[in-house]
Amino acid sequence: MINGDFLYLDYAATAPISNIIMRSYYEAVEIFGNPAAFYKKGEEAYQVIQKSKQNILKNLNHNEDWNIMFTSGATESINSIFYSFNPDLIITTDLEHHAVKEAVKHTSANWIQINLFNVITDTPNYLSKDKDYNRILISIIGVNNETGLIIPSEKIQDIKKYVQNIYPNAVIIIHIDFTQGFCKIPYDMTNIDCYSFSAHKIGFFKGFGGLIYKKSTVESYLINNPLIKGGHQQNGLRSGTENPTFIYLLDKLIEEHMNNLLSNYQKAQILKSAFYQILPDIIKKYNTIDLLFTSKNTEDYSPYIINFSVLGIEGESLVSAIGNKIGISTGSACSEEDLSGSEVIKNYYKQYGTSSENQDLYANSAVRISFDTTLTINQIIDIFQPEFENAIKTLARASIYKKEN
């Protein structure tokens, strides 16, 4: 998206408000009643919420067993399922977002992290026959926020089967952190129990999202042990007055996204490919820097996210150098809290046997470009390419990295 003369390429962090929201906003604010009230405006709000909810679930291709709990976003949804299910064992990957990692730390559960090859990367003793678990939560990041890596549903089923074999009596629930995939990546949710999303990633207002779950396996936990307690709104799932305006608008936005899911996906693939042609052409001109794509241009990765490292240039320098004209990110916005570089990138390369020194190098120089389909090839060529090349030229002159031949 172009804002003034600024090219915004950080959609994985957040997206600008979608046009369909702008167009429908004035009719949506008319739905202001409290859905719990017994007069006409309250009833109207209640009806809008019911209808929009059904429509959202229909557009997301879910059957009647599925329901949606509206929350303040994916972070709350994740915290909610972790709190309500109260597992005694949690299995995640070592590539999770902070929202999951921190939520795990605030449970009393044992925590196992596995890598992409299903190898346990820490405390393997937790998975032994001597242990007795009642509730096991498998929480996996469906589309990685930094690398765009997609972990397919089948792979998660394999983990479940493996664990269920060891603990046949345990209740196992699968949660997907689907923040980066929601309304963007086709994903088979048939055998998944619940997933989280943040609406602002697809062009909605910040501070809204939800947990979409199967009633048959998850609802009882959410109702019996809700994270947010109070006036029993949303059937007691999450107290606090519901927002009919937002739910009405979100329905419209999801419908638009889902109707165009595949065509947008293909457009994004073309845009992504353009970057995969342009970036190596720029970098290869300089022998003091090198290019490493962490995300690959294949269907195993989101077409909306490109993560690459310009070896010899620190990610933050690159982002600062083009920051007046182009908005890209250093790995993940949260990584700025920590100078040591993205843990996700380090763990990603660790799995492929990269030396610890190189893990640091790759993580410190990682940057992420993410976009939606309003980006055009012309914008990439006319705005991104010259600005990026200009920044690279200066930074490459300062670089002390020696390219390996």
* Sheet containing 366-370: order of strands: 290-293, 305-311, 366-370
Tell me whether residue 266 or residue 358 sits nearer to another protein (CB atom): 358
Cβ-based nearer residue to another protein, 203 or 341: 341
From the list 125, 100, 102, 103, the residue with the least C-alpha distance to 112 is 125
Give the nearest distance from C-beta 286 to another protein in angstroms: 7
Q: Which residue lies nearer to another protein by CB, 186 or 323?
A: 323
Its sign, for the CA torsion 265, 267, 271, 276, is positive
Token pair of 36, please? 């719990």
CB-CB neighbours of 259 under 10 Å: 11
Q: Which is nearer to another protein, 183 or 313 (CB)?
A: 313
The least CB distance from residue 356 to another protein, in Å, is 8
Tokens of 64: 């009647």
CB of 390 to another protein, least distance (A): 10
CB of 320 to another protein, least distance (A): 4
**Minimum distance from residue 251 beta carbon to another protein (Å):** 31
Residues near another protein (CB under 8 A) = 286-288, 312-314, 316-317, 320-321, 333, 336-341, 356-357, 360-361, 364, 394, 396-401
Q: Is 189 helix (H, G, I), strand (E, B) or coil?
A: coil
Tokens of 375: 């980006």
Minimum CB distance to another protein smaller for 88 or for 360: 360
How many Å apart are CA 59 and CA 47, to the nearest integer?
Answer: 18
State in angstroms the smallest separation of the CB of 335 from another protein: 10
Nearer to another protein, 186 or 386 (CB): 386
What letter does residue 239 receive in the DSSP assignment? -
Is 73 in contact with 208 (CB distance < 8 Å)?
yes
Neighbours of 192 (CB within 10 A): 24
- Distance between CA atoms of 258 and 264, rounded to whole angstroms? 9
- For tokens 């949660």, name the residue: 175
Assess contact for 341 and 363: CB atoms under 8 A: yes
Shortest spacing between CB 7 and another protein, in angstroms: 18
| Eight-class DSSP state of 400 | -
Read out DSSP for 14-71?
--PPPHHHHHHHHHHHT--S-TT-SSHHHHHHHHHHHHHHHHHHHHTT--TTEEEEEE
Nearer to another protein, 207 or 236 (CB): 207
CB of residue 339 vs another protein: minimum separation in angstroms?
A: 5
Looking at the Cβ atoms of 47 and 356, the one nearer to another protein is 356
Pair of tokens at residue 167? 């603990």
Q: Which is nearer to another protein, 229 or 393 (CB)?
A: 393
- Smallest distance, another protein to C-beta of residue 75, A: 15
- Backbone dihedral region for residue 91 (phi beyond 0: left; psi -120 to 50: alpha; all else: beta): beta
Q: Are 315 and 322 in contact (CB under 8 A)?
A: no
CB of 146 to another protein, least distance (A): 16
Q: Tell me the three state secondary structure of residue 104.
A: helix
Nearer to another protein, 264 or 329 (CB): 329
